[in-house]
Structures are given as structure tokens and as C-alpha cells.
Amino acid sequence: MLGQDAFSRLKKNRWAWNSGILLLALLVIAFMTPVLPLQSPIHGDLQDRRFESPNFRVQRLIQTTDLGFPDDSLRAAFRQYQEQLSALDERVAQADSNTDREALIQERRRMAETLNPLNKLWHHPSATTQLLLRTRLLLFGESCLPSIFGCDDQGRDVLARVFWGSRVSLTVGLVAALVSLLIGVTYGAVAGFAGGWVDSLMMRLVDTLYSIPFIFVVIFLITLLDAEEWKNTLATWNIDRTAIFYVMIGAIYWLTMARVVRGQVLSLKTESFVEAATAIGFPRRRILFLHLLPNTMGVVLVYLTLTIPSVILFEAFLSFLGMGVSPPDVSWGLLVNEGLQVITPIETKWWIAAFPSLVMSVTLLALNFLGDGLRDALDPKLKGR
């Protein structure tokens, strides 16, 4: 997708290259957040740590703080939990009947939901997150960084919540962009390659969808998903509401992608390599997906890097309004909303809104710089420069 010449031109663009490195580092940090020695993003001490100001003068890089286990250490609590779980697994293996085995399995699930000490450090961690948290326990125990970004109104560490929110914000940007890529590229390629009345009909549908105010569609769908009946249905199928939220945003942003790909296919299908493939007798599907689409990937990649910041900003806007990610999950937009709620004429707790806004702004700028750099690197007109 990136040839040697394009890669060299991208590397010469210092802003785009450094932005790409910054974004790669941010993705790695977001994924590895449970391993980092951060304070719990969900646990706070209302009396001692409420609105604690940022601590920029760090005498020690890592300090020992209370993570919500006053009577026992986190490692000891987790070891005890694992022993109870192992004993229950043995009982499940030795069960005489299917009824007893099913009852023990249900008891094991309740134990995992209520007694797992990692739930107090991280809200209902998945299997991957639990593995990362266990690695953190082995490496750091209960030691963690001080409140460099301060604490919020519930005594929770803002730095930990910013890192935790990056997982949601970046995930929604990537997943929604990939959904728009899948729908938009396929739709636009078929429309451009088919031509004639098929192209006209498909693009008039796109024009019609463009006229719909999607913010109202999103509000309607979110309201529908919040209804008790739909919640129960999603729980029955083990479908996460947040996952539907990701796909829903991606299904909105495919229209422009379809137009971009259609224009590229229209200009490429008259080229000589397409005529040669047709003369050889290649089927139309093979010509479309093996010859035309690979030649549009440069433009698609550029537009994809410019779509991700739009999606992240849209998710932040919805979360800011209280219609996106819902607590206890957190995203950058939700953090900014929480920060603005505690800014009053009497006293301003600026750090609660400032740091999430700063991290989100830097990420969006880096994505735009990377998109501009990719556009310049992949532009055929610049190959002679």
C-alpha cells in the first residue's frame, strides 16, 4: 500500500512522521493501560482525595497508595480469590449430575462478578484486561503513580481515567472508521464500476441519506437501545451496547467514503490495464476487486486517517451530551463533560476538563498531520519532486 518512494516521502515530512510515531505510541499505551502502574480509574476516597490538585513535583516516580483494600493487600486478595475459584472448579469437575454442575457454574459466575478483587481496580475487566491486570500485580503490586493530573469530585485519579478513556475513544474511532471503510468502499466501487442507471440509482440513495440529519437518527437509536426491552434482548444475546454504538457511528460515516471510491473507480476503469483484463476474459468481479480496488487504496488510506478524528470528535460530542458512552465506562468526551460540571463561579477545578481536552486535541491534530502527510506521499503528481 505504501511503496518505497511513498514511504521515503512520508519519512521526510517531519510533522507527519512524528505524528505517526505519537499515534502508534498512544495506541500501545491505550492497550497496555491495565499494565501501567496507575491508580484505579473507578476507586476514589471521597473524604481524603476529593478535588486533589495536580501533583507536578514528583519526588518519587512510583509511590504506594491505597487501592481500596484497607484490610489486605491486592495481591493477597487476588490469591485468595484464585484459591476459591480453583476449589469451585474442582467441585464442578466432581459434580454427579448436570443439575448440580449447572448450579456450580452459576455460582462460579456470581463469584467472578462479586468477589473478584480486580473488579474494584477495573470495572468488570474482560479476559484480556484481567491478564494485563495480573501482569501489573506481578510487576508493581499496589505501587502506582501519584495524582499527576489531580483527582475528580469522587477522588478518582484523572490520569488513570484519561488513559482508560483513551481505550474507548480510540477504539470507537478505529472500529467506526473500519465499518465505514467496509461499507463505503464496497458500495462506491460497485456503483462506479457498474455505471449507467445502477450508478445513478445508488448515488441518488447516497444523496437522499445525506439530507437526513444523522444526529437525530443517532439520538433515536440510542434512546431505543436504552429502553428496558432492548436492554434485556441485548443481554440475552450477550451483545454489548457500546459495541453497537461503535458500529452505529461507522454506519453513518460511509457516505463520503463511497463518493471518494466511486470517483476513483470511474477514472480508473477506462485505463489500459482494465481493458487488457477484460480482453483476456477476466470476470467483472475479479477486475473490480483484484485490479481496481487495490489502485484506490492510497486515496482510501488517506481519507481513512481523516475519518478517524471526525469519528472521535463525534463520539466525544455525543458523550459530552450524555448520549454516548455511559458510566462506569469512560471516554474523553465524558471526562470533559464531568470537568465542566464542576467549574463554578466560586471555584474552578480546571484540571478535570483541561487534561482530557488536551490529550484529545493532540490526538486529533496528530491524525490530521498524518493524513496530510499520507496524501502528499501517495499523490502521484509529487513523485518527481
Q: How many Cβ atoms are within 10 Å of 274's Cβ, its own excluded?
A: 19
44, 228, 229, 385 from 329: Cα distances, Å: 15, 19, 22, 48
Q: What local confidence, expressed as pLDDT, does residue 358 receive?
A: 93
Considering the domain architecture, whether residues 104 and 178 belong to the same structural domain is answered as no
Look up residue 72 and give its three cell numbers: 489486605
Q: What local confidence, expressed as pLDDT, does residue 385 receive?
A: 46
Mean pLDDT of 57-62: 61
In a domain, 55, yes or no: no
Number of structural domains (the chain) is 2
Q: Please, are residues 245 and 172 in contact by the beta-carbon 8 Å criterion?
A: yes
In a domain, 59, yes or no: no
Considering the domain architecture, whether residues 248 and 270 belong to the same structural domain is answered as yes
Look up residue 241 and give its three cell numbers: 451496547
Q: Please, are residues 275 and 199 in contact by the beta-carbon 8 Å criterion?
A: no
Contacts 24+ apart (CB under 8 A), 287-294: 287/193, 288/189, 288/190, 288/193, 289/189, 292/189, 292/193, 292/265, 292/268, 293/185, 293/189, 293/265
Mean pLDDT of 332-349: 82
Cα 335 to Cα 288: distance, rounded to the nearest angstrom = 45
In a domain, 51, yes or no: no
Instruction: Please name which of 172, 170, 173, 129 lies closest in space to residue 40, comparing C-alpha atoms.
Output: 129
Q: What local confidence, expressed as pLDDT, does residue 379 receive?
A: 63
In a domain, 52, yes or no: no
Peptide bond into 146 cis (omega under 30): no
Considering the domain architecture, whether residues 23 and 77 belong to the same structural domain is answered as no
Cα 285 to Cα 193: distance, rounded to the nearest angstrom = 10
In a domain, 176, yes or no: yes
Considering the domain architecture, whether residues 306 and 262 belong to the same structural domain is answered as yes
Considering the domain architecture, whether residues 17 and 113 belong to the same structural domain is answered as no
- 310-349 per-residue burial string, b: 16 or more CB within 10 A, e: under 16: bbbbbbbebbbeebbbbeebbbbbbbbbbbeeeeeeeeeb
Considering the domain architecture, whether residues 165 and 284 belong to the same structural domain is answered as yes
CATH, residue 298:
1.10.3720.10
Considering the domain architecture, whether residues 262 and 159 belong to the same structural domain is answered as yes
Instruction: Indicate the residue among 90, 116, 144 that finishes a domain.
Output: 144
Considering the domain architecture, whether residues 284 and 224 belong to the same structural domain is answered as yes
Q: What percent of the chain has pLDDT over 70?
A: 90
Q: Please, are residues 174 and 249 in contact by the beta-carbon 8 Å criterion?
A: no
Instruction: Indicate the residue among 94, 125, 144 that finishes a domain.
Output: 144
In a domain, 47, yes or no: no
Burial of 380 (0-12, 13-18, 19+ CB in 10 A): exposed
Residue that wins the pLDDT comparison between 185 and 9: 185
Considering the domain architecture, whether residues 165 and 275 belong to the same structural domain is answered as yes
Considering the domain architecture, whether residues 331 and 207 belong to the same structural domain is answered as yes
Confidence of residue 359 (pLDDT cuts 50, 70, 90): very high
pTM of the model: 0.83
Written as one letter, the residue type at 34 is P
In a domain, 58, yes or no: no
Confidence of residue 384 (pLDDT cuts 50, 70, 90): very low
pLDDT digits (tens, 9 = 90+) for 35-49: 998 888 887 665 577
Cα 309 to Cα 316: distance, rounded to the nearest angstrom = 10
Domain range holding 89? 66-144
Considering the domain architecture, whether residues 256 and 356 belong to the same structural domain is answered as yes
In a domain, 44, yes or no: no
Considering the domain architecture, whether residues 298 and 176 belong to the same structural domain is answered as yes
Kindly tell me the sign of the dihedral angle through the C-alpha atoms of 316, 356, 19, 244: negative
Give the max Cα distance, the chain. 79
Look up residue 17 and give its three cell numbers: 512522521
Confidence of residue 288 (pLDDT cuts 50, 70, 90): confident
pLDDT digits (tens, 9 = 90+) for 182-241: 888 889 888 888 888 888 999 999 888 888 887 777 778 777 777 777 777 776 776 766
Look up residue 372 and give its three cell numbers: 496530510
φ, ψ at 107 (rounded to 5°): -65, -35
8, 112, 170, 337, 367 from 82: Cα distances, Å: 52, 10, 32, 38, 43
Instruction: Indicate the residue among 144, 162, 194 that finishes a domain.
Output: 144
